[in-house]
């Protein structure tokens, strides 16, 4: 577990403004730890309990995935997934929370994109901010 905790501290915690960034980092981390299958792959549902060893291994992987998920989100977001039975259910809850079309958020982002100025940012930072805003706008409204 120390390996999980040490590496996940490098993932910026999910908050109300960075879902796209967090999702990308989180998914890559889980794939590298061989945990993605219990959230987004072929092992999202537990195997039959009759096969005790397979079920035990799945439960360990699912527990690790849930631990990583819960420790890489801000505390106020934990309320949304506290009761989730599986890491897949928690993942889906967060995805629906942040991926749904939100007109108010969309207008806010569009306004921010239209009024952004470089200010004290380097050209690289400014470009990344514009790109990030554009990507988030597209995710909310692909049309």
pLDDT in tens, 48-105: 888 889 899 999 999 999 999 999 999 999 999 999 999 999 999 998 888 766 777 7
Burial 41-59 (b: 16+ CB within 10 A, else e): eebbeeeeeeeeeeeeebe
Per-domain residue ranges of the chain: 2-99, 103-140
Using CA atoms, how far residue 60 sits from 72, 75, 95, 117, in Å, is: 18, 24, 23, 48
Q: Average pLDDT of 103-119?
A: 87
Rounded mean pLDDT, 104-108: 81
Report the predicted TM-score, pTM, of the whole model to 2 decimal places. Answer: 0.68
């Amino acid at each position: 577990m120390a390996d999980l905790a040490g590496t996940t501290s490098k993932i910026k915690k999910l908050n109300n403004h960075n879902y796209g960034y967090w999702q990308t980092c989180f998914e890559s981390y889980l794939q590298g730890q061989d945990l993605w299958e219990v959230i987004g792959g072929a092992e999202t549902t537990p195997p039959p309990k009759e096969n005790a060893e397979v079920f035990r291994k799945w439960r360990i992987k699912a527990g690790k995935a849930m631990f990583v998920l819960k420790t890489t989100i801000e505390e106020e977001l934990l309320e949304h997934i506290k009761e989730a039975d599986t890491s897949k259910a928690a993942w889906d809850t967060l995805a629906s929370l942040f991926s749904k079309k939100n007109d108010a958020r969309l207008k806010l982002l569009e306004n921010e994109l239209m009024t952004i100025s470089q200010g004290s940012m380097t050209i690289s930072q400014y470009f990344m901010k514009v790109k990030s805003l554009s990507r988030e706008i597209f995710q909310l409204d692909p049309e």
